[in-house]
Amino acid sequence: MCGIVAYFGNKPAQPILIEGLKRLEYRGYDSAGIALLENGTFQVTKSPGRISNLEEMLAGRHSPATLGIGHTRWATHGRPNQVNAHPHVDCTGKIAVVHNGIIENYATLKKWLLKEGCTFLSETDTEVVANLIGYFYQRNQNRNGQLAPHGCNRFEWAVQQALSEIYGTYGLAILCADCPNVLIGAKKGSPLILGVGKNEFLIASDAAAIVKHTTQAIYLADGEMVIVDSGGFQTKTLSNEQVQKELKEIEISLDQIELEGFRHYMEKEIAEQPTALETCLNGRVDLKNGRIILGGISNYLRELTRAKRIILTACGTAWHAALVGEFLFEQLARIPAEVEYASEFRYRNPILEEGTVVIAISQSGETADTLAAVEQAKERGALVLGIVNVVGSSIARLTDAGVYLRVGPEIGVASTKAFTAQVAVLAMLAIELGRRRHLSTDTVQNLLQELTSIPQKIKRILRQSEAIRQIADANKDRENWLFLGRGFNYPVALEGALKLKEISYIHAEGLPAAEMKHGPIALITDKMPAVFIATRCSQYEKIIGNIEEVRARGGKTIVVATEGDEQIKPYADYLIPIPETCEPLQPMLTVVPLQMLAYHAAVLRGHDVDKPRNLAKSVTVE
């Protein structure tokens, strides 16, 4: 949530900051701004709305400054306007800050700072950070009377003193007007990395902002800060202890974050799913020996095989993947499983008895609620595994072990390829545990054969894009939709409804098909499309009955069905055929036409698919 980028080097900072912000805009796009340190003064430019607005304000300006910070915002405290946009400068004009996160005790600190003579211009919690650092920097001592060091060490000291007073989460990039050769970053609960180039450094909340300039980076851990100056960089804890960090290769490449001829990132990422899944499965499905190889959790497979209970925790789309995982673990591995919203799990008093395994799922690996759930589960002694996409992310570092999705960066706010990969990883894990517990060799071999065929089958579904666009066009003005499925396809109904809500702004409900007649059937009219996932499965005849119930009340049906199914045709006003596969693996196929349906509906309604209103890609604040 929110995007941070900072530059210190020998090139003009302004174009580098703007370029970085554009690559981070999927993290928030309510407002944007930059601060350049020029001749001992901050040149701050801020604008509400998209980064293109900021670019227009800067048109014709060519600052020579080689040190600066930038920010694109997803609003938490304060309306998305120019005053509340970052960067924020303290009341003395000495400290400039950009911030991702939430300062929980900002109201108390603000009240105290006002008494101390500080003034505020914005409604944000971030301005408190700027003023608190400025307070310690100007007064040369902390609240215990400890004196500050001299020179730019005082800036570093002031940051440490201020952050020791703060409760909450933050990723910060900080400048001091008196220190034209110093850039400081600090992290707690929000991602922050330092890119190390040739005589230049970049701080960012995401590697996408820096990969054009360097492929070498360090990843800050919670409670750490990095100080960059003309001599290089050093990392410390907030209590001033030196920390040695290893330079790591950034996993993504520049071409992976370009549109490459597609109109939108969501369109590109839907189309990438066959290749992304092949990469996810590559080297992990051993057809010759009939087994799954997941190196990241190999040391814990005996413990997993003996598990008495599995809890899957996630948010949003990842929660829907987790729900598929529940069905997979119970049917294939015969292990009791349950799914918890991470936002609820973290505030409950969950029972985590011996033999419980917790699996946290998050595309970014930075989802605040999921991260908090992981911390709670670890405190209670559970084995905690992570399924994430971003290498080096907080969940990847905190969990005992885990599996990377390996699908490349996902820029579109509405998750697509990450969902199919999450289901693929859960399927691999369930198959391997089932093999170790009770599944026959033939059953495992059939499952593995089907799993490896999924990418090619998705390619066949993608060829129906124009036909699905026509279905979307015929129904795009309907403001209420139902999505209905049974068994393994019930979570897909939830995901289809979420996609339509996220990017088309159409109200949609996802339900188990049998639950429709327990209330929601009252909503059925010829103005409400009902999307049924009615593939050949163990509950096929039952879902035919549910479709009949809708049609009897004048409802229009959009049916996702198995290729060659002639029986279903009379029940569908609009039919989307998909290739056949075994029931546990169907969600990886049935979700794809629903992603495409939502995408086309959003485009036809004139919405910004990649930047839907009020949303950001990664929810790193509570």
Angle between helix axes 316-328 and 417-437 (nearest 10 degrees) is: 20
**Burial of 197 from C-beta contacts in 10 A (0-12 / 13-18 / 19+):** middle
Residue whose token pair is 């049917």: 331
Residue pair 489/562 in contact (Cβ under 8 Å)? The answer is no
C-alpha to C-alpha distances, 290 to 236, 299, 306, 332, 445, nearest whole angstrom: 48, 19, 21, 15, 6
CA–CA distance, 36 with 61 (Å, rounded to integer): 12
Residue whose token pair is 């080096």: 392
CA–CA distance, 183 with 159 (Å, rounded to integer): 11
| Longest pairwise C-alpha distance within the chain | 82
The single-letter DSSP state of residue 372 is: H
Select from 419, 397, 446, 387 the least CA-distant residue to 583.
Answer: 446
- Tokens representing residue 607 in the block: 């919405």
- Tokens representing residue 393 in the block: 């992310």
Query: For the CA atoms of 248, 253, 258, 261, what is the dihedral angle to 10 degrees?
Result: -170
253-261 contacts, C-beta under 8 A, 24 or more apart: 253/211, 254/211, 254/212, 256/408, 256/409, 257/23, 257/208, 257/211, 257/409, 257/411
Question: What does 108-165 look like in DSSP terms, one character per residue?
Answer: HHHHHHHHTT----SS-SHHHHHHHHHHHHHHSB-TT-PBP-STTHHHHHHHHHHHHT
C-alpha to C-alpha distances, 566 to 446, 513, 538, 556, nearest whole angstrom: 26, 21, 17, 19
3-class secondary structure, 361: strand
Residue pair 82/94 in contact (Cβ under 8 Å)? The answer is no
Residue 212 bears catalytic tag: no
Residue 2 bears catalytic tag: yes
Beta bridge partners of 100: 171
**Secondary structure in 3-state letters for 541-575:** HHHHHHHHHHHCCCCEEEEEEECCCCCCHHHCCEE
Q: Which of 94, 501, 611, 617 is catalytic?
A: 617
Select from 569, 567, 589 the least CA-distant residue to 580.
Answer: 589
Q: Which of 2, 118, 176, 280 is catalytic?
A: 2
**Residues tagged active-site:** 2, 617
